[in-house]
Amino acid sequence: MLLTQPGSLPASPTDPGYRPPALRTVGVDVVLGGIPIVRNADLEIQPGEAVAIMGNNGSGKTTLMRATLGLVPHQGLIELFGTPLESFREWRRVGYVPQRSGILVQQATAREVVASGRLASRRPFSPATTADRKAITAALERVGLADRARHPFVRLSGGQQQRVLIARALATGAELMMWDEPLAGVDHHTQALLSEVAAQLKADGVTIVIVLHELGCFEPVIDRAISLAEGRIVADGPLPAERSEGHEVADLKPTTLHRTGLEAP
Measured CA to CA, the distance from residue 50 to residue 57 in angstroms comes to: 22
Write out 181-196 in H/E/C secondary structure: CCCCCCCHHHHHHHHH
Which range touches other proteins (CB under 8 A), out of 16-24, 185-193, 206-214, 230-238? 185-193
Least Cβ distance, residue 53 to other proteins (angstroms): 16
Among 71, 90, 95, 62, smallest CA distance to 168 is for 95
Least Cβ distance, residue 187 to other proteins (angstroms): 4
Residue 87 phi/psi, 5° resolution? -110, 10
What is the per-residue binding string for other proteins in 97-116, x denoting contact by CB under 8 A? -x---xxxxxxxx--xx-xx
Compare residues 73 and 265 and give the one whose CB is closer to other proteins. Answer: 73
Size of the site for other proteins (CB under 8 A): 48
Instruction: Kindly identify the residues of this chain, within the stretch 65-104, that bind other proteins according to CB under 8 A.
Output: 66, 69-71, 89, 91-92, 94, 96, 98, 102-104
Q: Which of 136, 170, 193, 201 binds other proteins (CB under 8 A)?
A: 193
Which range touches other proteins (CB under 8 A), out of 53-61, 141-149, 205-213, 241-249? 141-149
Residue 192 found at the interface with other proteins (CB under 8 A): yes
Least Cβ distance, residue 244 to other proteins (angstroms): 20
Q: Is 197 helix (H, G, I), strand (E, B) or coil?
A: helix
Please give the single-letter amino acid code of residue 60.
G
Compare residues 209 and 239 and give the one whose CB is closer to other proteins. Answer: 209
Measured CA to CA, the distance from residue 191 to residue 228 in angstroms comes to: 23
Q: How many Cα neighbours within 13 Å face the side chain of 1?
A: 16
Measured CA to CA, the distance from residue 7 to residue 173 in angstroms comes to: 20
Q: Among the residues of the chain, which ranges form H helices? A: 61-68, 110-115, 130-142, 158-171, 188-203
Q: Which residues contribute to the site for other proteins (CB under 8 A)?
A: 66, 69-71, 89, 91-92, 94, 96, 98, 102-109, 112-113, 115-120, 122, 124-125, 128, 144-145, 147, 150-152, 157, 159-160, 168, 172, 178, 187-190, 192-193
